[in-house]
Amino acid sequence: MGGFVSDSNSLAFNIASILAEHKAGEVVVMDLTGIAGWTDYFVIGTSTSITHLRGLSRFVDAYLTEDKQKPLNKPVATEDESWLLHDLGDVIVHIMSQEARIFYELEKLWFKAKIFKIEASPGGLETAEE
């Protein structure tokens, strides 16, 4: 996935692929173009523990560094963290615990968005629109 990603669609799907490859659960890309005036995509993935949440965040950070992307924030996980957010402007990455995912229900809040499920499979990644 090396090389500079210049469009938000590719960036969102590349990050979603990284989350899926590293065992994030229920990875989705939500297309918010035309719905939210402040961002184009949400990428959402579920972690299994605080250690997993931190690890997923590090993989996202490493990709952003490799791709020369400048995030608007640098999330820091505390011991009781249940949600980390990487704000890239046109793409916002949400890495959440299962409890936070259920509580905040971002997919229901942004119900008008097109949602693409991203799954890791033995032969590569699969994308399916809901």
The size of the chain, in residues, is 130
What per-residue confidence (pLDDT) applies to 127? Answer: 65
What per-residue confidence (pLDDT) applies to 44? Answer: 98
Report if residue 80 sits inside a domain: yes
What per-residue confidence (pLDDT) applies to 6? Answer: 59
The low-confidence residues of the chain, meaning pLDDT below 50, are 1-4
Q: At 78, list the tokens.
A: 């505390």
**Considering only CA atoms, which of 99, 89, 90, 26 is closest in space to residue 56?**
26
Report if residue 2 sits inside a domain: no
What per-residue confidence (pLDDT) applies to 3? Answer: 46
Angle of helix 50-66 versus helix 8-21 axis, rounded to 10? 140
Domain extent, residue 35, equals 8-129
Report if residue 55 sits inside a domain: yes
Q: At 123, list the tokens.
A: 């032969």
What per-residue confidence (pLDDT) applies to 70? Answer: 87
What per-residue confidence (pLDDT) applies to 123? Answer: 60
Report if residue 35 sits inside a domain: yes
Query: CATH number of the domain that 27 lies in?
Result: 3.30.460.10
Report if residue 71 sits inside a domain: yes
What per-residue confidence (pLDDT) applies to 11? Answer: 96
Q: At 127, list the tokens.
A: 């994308």
Report how many domains make up the chain.
1
What per-residue confidence (pLDDT) applies to 49? Answer: 94
What per-residue confidence (pLDDT) applies to 34? Answer: 92
Task: Render pLDDT for 9-40 as a digit per residue (tens, 0 to 9).
Answer: 999 999 999 999 999 999 999 999 999 999 99
Report if residue 73 sits inside a domain: yes
**Considering only CA atoms, which of 90, 49, 85, 62 is closest in space to residue 1?**
62
Question: Whole-number mean pLDDT of the chain?
Answer: 89
